[in-house]
Structure 1
Amino acid sequence: MITLLKEVGRGKRGARDLTYEESLRAAEEILSLRATPAQIGAFFIAERIKMESVEELEAFVDVCRQSAYRLPSQEGIDCAGPYDGRKKSFYATFACSFVLAAAGLPVTLHGTASLPPKWGITLHDLLGQIGIQPDSLEREDWIRASKETGVLYVPAEEWCPPLKALRPIREELGMRTVLNTAEKLIDYSHSPYLVFGVYHNTVFDRLSRLMTKLNYRKSLIVQGTEGSEDLFIDRPTRTYIVENGIATLHVVNPETLGLDTPIPETVWTAASQISVTEEVLRGEADMAFMHQVLLNAAYRLHHADRAGSVEEALYICKALLESGDAWNTYTKWRSLLAR
């Protein structure tokens, strides 16, 4: 580990990217905790300064996957948002998941209790508001609920134990590390489709090459709200579509679909997130949130090849909200998991 540290820790000009094989050794040392806390912290900081290469990210994803419990393919979509949560935006992806499941597209969500650097509201917090305690349920409970409803939630630190073991170091560092990317790509249900949130468009090229190496059938990289996978409803969103090794820039403009809507000022807490989520699924929410869920659900349904166009997908998703099918999927899922 010391030899590898010397390569990445020589400073901005002297540091070099590790090869995939070297990165694999580093990831194995870190995720097994054979490296010391000081070495792990130093590596994370050095990588943060240097910026992780595609090969380094790939190695950490591969070792995380080897360390995790993963289900057989559900032929669905993995929604990969930041584990450090939200502070000032609506969790459209949560409501969206039940619309997609009602449409017959399996959905995988995953997360943990809040992490740095944002320390925001997480999916874990939302589940707690509806009586679901993510870290106290058995793996079989989540799997049963997913089989009956089409929505799988994975408490990542339970299904990938090294993430739990490394939490204290990440909390002490208080900054983004290579794990902030790798943990979102563990792909717990071997999903062929991915929607992945990023903060900065400067990482589009690097991540599109990574998605190709990870063999997703189709990936949608979104520079969304607070670095999430959620498309904006009040302005255009930059995305990259990665398919067959080719990455294409695509700007999603809600105005072209007649959906652009100003977002009302809202103080977001876990309770208000759930309140708005349930209003959306009942068809009673402010139009901005209704439109944001429709836009995101439609693009994901089309992305997963379940609709011939975004317009067709919008029609499908709108009907599922109006009929109550999305709400019924949500209430069934909640009843299966709440204690």
Structure 2
Amino acid sequence: MSPLFRDLLKKVGSGAHTHKDLTRAEAALALQLMLEQVATPAQIGAFLIAHRIKRPTPEEMAGMLDTYNELGPKIPAVEMSDPVMILSQPYDGRDRTFPLSPLTALVLATAGVPVLQHGGDRMPTKEGVPLINLWRCLGVDWSTLTLEQTAHCLAQTGLGFVYLPRHFPAAQGLVPYREQIGKRPPIATLELIWNPYQGRSHIVAGFVHPPTETIIRDALYLHGIQEFTTVKGLEGSCDLPRERTAIIGLARNQDLPWQRLRLHPQDYGMGSSNVPWPEDTTTATKMMAAVLAAEEQPLTASVIWNSGFYLWQGGKADSLNSGLALSSELLRSGKVNQHLQKLQTILEKV
């Protein structure tokens, strides 16, 4: 047992009226003791559920991010003309709507906006389809690459993926606790703002509940990060919905206030139902292949809607309408499919 960790646990787990928030340094230490397994399993489980019930503060989340930045892997900076866009997604995956970000990432990279993602395998509590499986559907397996090989792919194709089980085994060691406590721990929010890249970057973090967005925003500000995007996306992802207004938070620099952007898909001819997840990867593979062939189908329109927005935000289009047109043209011309083939070829050689 760790007496030091027990003192931290007592602060967050003392009840609704007597608990105390941790300082940034204390939150960083608590996560370090859990990642290094200095805390016992009983202590780790108790902390994760108690901290969820208490709800993390932005200062605590900033402290946990300190520890991830210190102990986690980092892709070395690659010479790029544009910042790398970090398209963050909940690690426990998707089970209702079709995940769009791998295809979105391909469109962005084709246009010159580099994208880095991170994640693991199927994970509690949702056990939804993870990003790594969707990339495999596209003929890309990131799980075997070293960090150096990932950096090479990022430099050559503008695409990369940090795979938790291989690159951050200490964090992977906390995954079983998610199933045992039956709830997402505060680490699930931390994963949305963790950035495993050392160079210029732009974080895009999805969220569901407004308090989570506030925690994300204020924790990033505490880290001195002034430019990032939050999206009330599909199942907490950064995928823009098509059946409702897209609610987006924009932080662009210290001189501009926090901005709220609301996009109505119907105003751009994009209003429709979100594409459901087909539940099997065989069907998903065929659907993604149809998108790459620019076939007229709901999933293609969803990818154009998302890619158009991020091309606009990534500086490759001067308006959302221009971004939508560029996204459509890149798919229709076959350039996105060609870029995927280039990625596959490079992965075969690393």
TM range (shorter): over 0.9
Check 1:269–1:338 CA distance in 2 against 1; reply closer, same or farther (3 A cut): farther
Pair 1:55-2:59 in alignment: yes
Matched, 1:260 2:271: yes
1-side partners of 2:187 and 2:274: how far apart? 32
**AA at the equivalent of 1:331:** Q
Over 3 Å counting, the alpha-carbon distance change for 1:133 and 1:305 in structure 2 is: closer
Counterparts of 1:205-220 in structure 2, within 5 Å, are 205-220=214-229
**Among residues 145, 162, 175, which one is paired with 2:153 in the alignment?**
145
How far off its partner does 1:334 sit?
A: 2.8
Give the drift of 1:319: 1.7
Distance (Å, rounded) in 1 between the aligned partners of 2:327 and 2:139: 27
| C-alpha contact (below 8 Å) 2:234/2:240 kept by paired residues | yes
The aligned counterpart of 1:170 is 178
In the alignment, structure 1 segments of 5+ residues that lack a partner are none
Does residue 311 of the first structure (1) align with residue 311 of the second (2)? no
| 1:301 matches 2:305 | no
Kept in 1, the 8 Å contact 2:204–2:231? The answer is yes
Alignment of 1:93-112 (within 5 A): 93-112=101-120
| TM-aligned CA deviation for residue 234 of structure 1 | 2.2
**Which residue identity is paired with 1:235?**
R
Query: What is the aligned counterpart of 1:273 among 256, 278, 284?
Result: 284
Q: Provide Cα deviations, 1:179-205, integer angstroms capped at 9, x if missing partner.
A: 112223221224521211112123222
What is the DSSP-based 3-state SS (H/G/I as helix, E as strand, rest coil) of the residue aligned with 2:188? helix
Give unmatched runs, 5+ long, in structure 2. none
Q: Secondary structure at the match of 2:316?
A: coil
Q: Name the CA shift for 1:137/1:73 in 2 (closer, same or farther; >3 Å).
A: closer
Q: Distance in 1 between matches of 2:6 and 2:103?
A: 46
Q: Where does residue 203 of structure 1 map in the other structure?
A: 212
8 Å Cα contact 1:126-1:271 kept in structure 2: no
1:153 CA displacement: 1.3
Q: Secondary structure at the match of 2:174?
A: helix
Query: In structure 2, what residue type is equivalent to 1:121?
Result: V
Task: Kindly tell me the number of residue pairs found equivalent between the two proteins.
Answer: 338
Q: Conserved in 2, the CA contact under 8 Å of 1:193 and 1:304?
A: no
**1:81 counterpart residue number:** 89
The aligned amino acid for 2:278 is: V
Does 2:19 align with 1:15? yes
CA gap 1:143/1:161 in 2 versus in 1, 3 angstroms: same
Question: TM-score w.r.t. structure 2 length?
Answer: 0.90
Change (3 A) 1:110 1:263: same
Deviation at 1:152, TM superposition (A): 0.6
| Cα displacement (A) at 1:8 | 0.3
- For residues 254 and 216 of structure 1, the distance between their equivalents in structure 2, rounded to whole angstroms, comes to 29
List per-residue Cα deviations over 1:20-47 (Å, max 9, x = no partner). Answer: 1211221221122111111111111111
Q: 1:293 to 1:128 in 2, by over 3 A?
A: closer
Is the Cα contact below 8 Å between 2:86 and 2:117 reproduced in 1? yes
Report the CA distance between 1:304 and its aligned residue. 2.5
Is the deviation greater in 292-301 or in 81-90?
Answer: 292-301
Residue aligned with 1:97, SS: helix
- Aligned equivalent of 2:302: 292
The percent identity for this pair of structures is 28
- Structure with greater contact order relative to length (CA < 8 Å, sep ≥ 6): 1
1:230 Cα shift?
0.2
The change in CA–CA distance for 1:233 and 1:222 in structure 2 (over 3 A counts) is: same
Q: Which residue of 2 aligns with 1:32?
A: 36
Q: Pick which of 23-32 and 244-253 moved more.
A: 244-253
Distance in 2 between residues matched to 1:270 and 1:324, nearest whole Å:
23
Mean CA deviation greater in 188-197 or 266-275: 266-275
Q: Report what 2:232 is aligned to.
A: 223
Match of 1:116 in 2: 124
> Offset at 1:144?
2.5
Give 3-state SS (helix, strand or coil) of 1:110's partner.
Answer: strand
Q: Partner letter of residue 171 of structure 1?
A: E
2:98 match: 90
Distance in structure 2 (CA, Å) of the matches to 1:297 and 1:195: 13
2:259 alignment counterpart? 248
AA aligned to 1:31 is: L
Query: Aligned pair in 2 of structure 1 residues 132, 311: CA closer, same or farther (>3 Å)?
Result: closer
Cα distance between partner residues in 1 of 2:140 and 2:336: 19
Structure-2 residue corresponding to 1:237? 246
